């Protein structure tokens, strides 16, 4: 799964609560100013607040612009960084860096295993000569979970750049602490209402109740975990639809453009559109690989398929090919799409380029 790209605002002076509780009050101010710029910012723990990067980057014209606008707007001494996943984004903020998408693992490699905030694990690893996240990431996963347990396995995924969430990064009581700092009743549960710009013109009681439950899920799983579907037209099943985070400005316009799109497959549409298409082999009666010719025609009649090296299944019906002449996966290539039904009654949408086939979508 792709990690959520996040902007983190990190306040060096506000990491620890002092005797007078002034840090929490100052942090309330930081969260408020950040929220004015990007309404879906939320506090992670004292001195750390995060927001999804994609929306604001589009809005302000790039991640650099978001960072400089934030530094300007907040006023406090803040460090701002951008990276994939919360763990890396917090470190990026400390280092005031924008880590390019997909380069989390390289970015994390030189940092000390102490950054995982697991002192016992860090000591054990250092005794074994494993001092950096890069060395930790290089250990084989089964060994890590066997030897150090589930929590270390989770930390290992983080070091490998495959996960951004680590128990302990988020302070579950931060909203409550900020309510205290704002002088509100901490137990009233009156979190500031998360809003859906452009949609909750006049929010009903039901809308407010729903909004609070969505915010709770976002607190649990991250801001981009709660999505609205939106249809924008297009020929590819994957291109026709978009998912936008609930609460982001784009979500305000979520909805359907019902205009039929020329060249798209007729309904019914697939219920599962795979974000990462799966490889599948397709052969004809003689056992030869089927493929698509330069003119977008099939050579050979599809007779059997095997998903990811699994058992061969007989193809009982198929239709197409529908040529894909558009840009697809960012390279201009000759591809074709074929609907296929196997003997078990299951229908799939396949996509072929020359002799290579993928499952693009499922009809469940």
Partner 1 sequence: MFAFTPRKVPVGLADQVRPTTPVAGRLLPVPVPLAPLFPDGALRRGTTTTVAGLPGHGATTLALALLAAASQAGSWCAAVGLSDPGVVAAAELGIDLRRVVFVPHPGSGWAGAAGDLLPGVDVVLVRPPGRARQTAARHLSARARERQAALVVLVEHVGDWPEGGDLALSVGAIEWEGIGRGHGHLQGRRAQVRVGGRRSAGRAMERSFWLPAGSGAVAVAGPGPEPGPEAA
Interface ranges with partner 1 (CB under 8 A): 1, 199, 204-207, 209-214, 216-217, 220-221, 225-231, 237, 240-243, 246, 254-256, 265-275, 301, 317-320, 339, 341, 344-348, 361-364
Which CB, 88 or 226, lies closer to partner 1? 226
Which CB, 61 or 229, lies closer to partner 1? 229
Tokens of 77: 């001494």
CA 139, CA 136: separation in Å to the nearest integer? Answer: 6
CA 124, CA 103: separation in Å to the nearest integer? Answer: 27
Query: Any residues with CB less than 8 A from the CB of 165 and at least 6 apart, and which?
Result: 85, 86, 87, 158, 222
CA 74, CA 66: separation in Å to the nearest integer? Answer: 12
Which CB, 57 or 361, lies closer to partner 1? 361
Which CB, 114 or 273, lies closer to partner 1? 273
CA 17 to chain centre: 32
CB of 39 to partner 1, least distance (A): 17
CB of 360 to partner 1, least distance (A): 10
CB of 132 to partner 1, least distance (A): 27
Which CB, 10 or 318, lies closer to partner 1? 318
CB of 207 to partner 1, least distance (A): 7
CB of 68 to partner 1, least distance (A): 32
Taking CA atoms, 349 is separated from 12, 135, 216, 296, 346, in Å, by 52, 42, 36, 16, 10
CA 234, CA 248: separation in Å to the nearest integer? Answer: 23
CB of 243 to partner 1, least distance (A): 7
End-to-end CA distance of the chain: 21
In degrees, rounded to 5, the angle at the alpha carbon of residue 306 between the alpha carbons of residues 300 and 309 is 130
Which CB, 127 or 275, lies closer to partner 1? 275
161 — alpha (psi -120 to 50), left (phi > 0) or beta?
A: left
CB of 54 to partner 1, least distance (A): 16
Runs of H (alpha helix) within the chain:
22-37, 54-60, 63-74, 86-95, 104-108, 119-127, 133-138, 141-148, 150-159, 174-181, 205-221, 237-240
Largest CA distance in the chain: 81
Taking CA atoms, 291 is separated from 314, 321, 336, 359, in Å, by 17, 11, 9, 14
Which CB, 71 or 154, lies closer to partner 1? 154
Q: What are the beta bridge partners of residue 280?
A: 307, 357
Does residue 311 contact residue 348 with C-beta atoms inside 8 Å? no
CA 303, CA 285: separation in Å to the nearest integer? Answer: 5
Backbone angles phi, psi at 52, to 5 degrees: -65, 140
Which CB, 111 or 246, lies closer to partner 1? 246
CB of 220 to partner 1, least distance (A): 6
CA 335, CA 351: separation in Å to the nearest integer? Answer: 7
Which CB, 124 or 269, lies closer to partner 1? 269
CB of 190 to partner 1, least distance (A): 16
CB of 342 to partner 1, least distance (A): 8
Which CB, 86 or 254, lies closer to partner 1? 254
């Amino acid at each position: 799964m792709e990690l959520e790209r996040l902007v983190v605002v990190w306040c060096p002076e506000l990491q620890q609560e002092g005797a007078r509780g002034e840090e929490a009050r100052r942090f309330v101010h930081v969260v408020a100013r950040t929220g004015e710029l990007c309404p879906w910012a939320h506090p992670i723990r004292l001195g750390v607040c995060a927001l999804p990067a994609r929306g604001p980057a589009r809005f302000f014209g790039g991640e650099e612009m978001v960072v400089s606008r934030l530094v300007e707007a907040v006023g406090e001494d803040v460090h701002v960084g951008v990276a994939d996943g919360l763990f890396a984004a917090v470190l990026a903020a400390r280092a005031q860096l924008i880590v390019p998408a997909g380069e989390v693992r390289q970015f994390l490699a030189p940092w000390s295993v102490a950054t995982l905030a697991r002192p016992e694990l860090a000591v054990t690893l250092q005794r074994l000569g494993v001092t950096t996240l890069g060395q930790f990431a290089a250990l084989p996963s089964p060994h890590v979970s066997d030897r150090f347990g589930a929590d270390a396995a989770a930390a290992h995924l983080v070091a490998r750049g495959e996960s951004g969430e680590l128990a302990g990064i988020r302070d579950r009581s931060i909203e409550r602490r900020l309510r205290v700092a704002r002088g509100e009743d901490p137990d009233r549960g009156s979190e500031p209402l998360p809003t859906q710009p452009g949609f909750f013109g006049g929010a009903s009681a039901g809308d407010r109740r729903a909004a609070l439950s969505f915010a709770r899920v976002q607190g649990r799983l991250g801001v981009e975990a709660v999505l609205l579907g939106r249809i924008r037209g297009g020929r590819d099943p994957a291109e026709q639809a978009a998912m936008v985070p609930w609460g982001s400005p784009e979500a305000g316009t979520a909805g359907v453009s019902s205009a039929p799109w020329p060249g798209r497959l007729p309904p019914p549409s697939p219920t599962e559109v795979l974000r990462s298409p799966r490889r599948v082999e397709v052969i004809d009666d003689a056992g030869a690989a089927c493929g698509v010719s330069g003119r977008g025609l099939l050579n050979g009649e599809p007779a059997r398929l095997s998903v990811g090296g699994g058992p061969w299944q007989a193809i009982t019906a198929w239709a197409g090919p529908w040529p894909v002449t558009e840009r697809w996966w960012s390279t201009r290539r000759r591809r074709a799409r074929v609907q296929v039904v196997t003997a078990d009654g299951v229908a799939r949408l396949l996509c072929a380029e020359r002799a290579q086939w993928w499952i693009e979508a499922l009809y469940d």
